Amino acid sequence: MDECELIAFISTVACALAKSCSTDDLTIMSVVFTQLGDSLATILAKRGLSSNNNNGNSNLVPIPDIDNDDSAKIDEKD
């Protein structure tokens, strides 16, 4: 199943659920699936960071130390 087929399938399932479920049921399912997706994204992000750290790599951009970075200092004028 490619990306477009997946989107079409998910939309079809959503429409079928909307036709056969109450508004209250749809509301609960909506928040449950949202939380499920967010939780899975968090797990995958943690796994990605853990595997990168084990390999000595990191996807995080280092934050510059402003106190020790002369290029970040602003010239003060009297």
- Would residue 53 count as lying in a domain? no
- Would residue 12 count as lying in a domain? yes
- Would residue 27 count as lying in a domain? yes
> What span, in angstroms and rounded, lies between the C-alpha atoms of 46 and 40?
10
- Would residue 29 count as lying in a domain? yes
CA 42 to chain CA centroid, nearest Å: 7
Q: What is the pTM of this model?
A: 0.58
> What span, in angstroms and rounded, lies between the C-alpha atoms of 71 and 56?
28
Residue 27 is part of which domain span? 1-33
Torsion angle in degrees (nearest 10) through CA of 42, 40, 45, 3: -130
- Would residue 73 count as lying in a domain? no
Per-residue pLDDT at 58 exceeds 90: no
pLDDT of residue 72: 53
Number of other CB atoms surrounding residue 49 within 10 Å: 14
Per-residue pLDDT at 9 exceeds 70: yes
Per-residue pLDDT at 48 exceeds 60: yes
Degrees to nearest 5, angle at CA 6 with 4 and 12: 105
pLDDT of residue 38: 96
- Would residue 59 count as lying in a domain? no
| Total domain count, the chain | 1
* Residue of 76 and 39 predicted with greater confidence: 39
- Would residue 76 count as lying in a domain? no
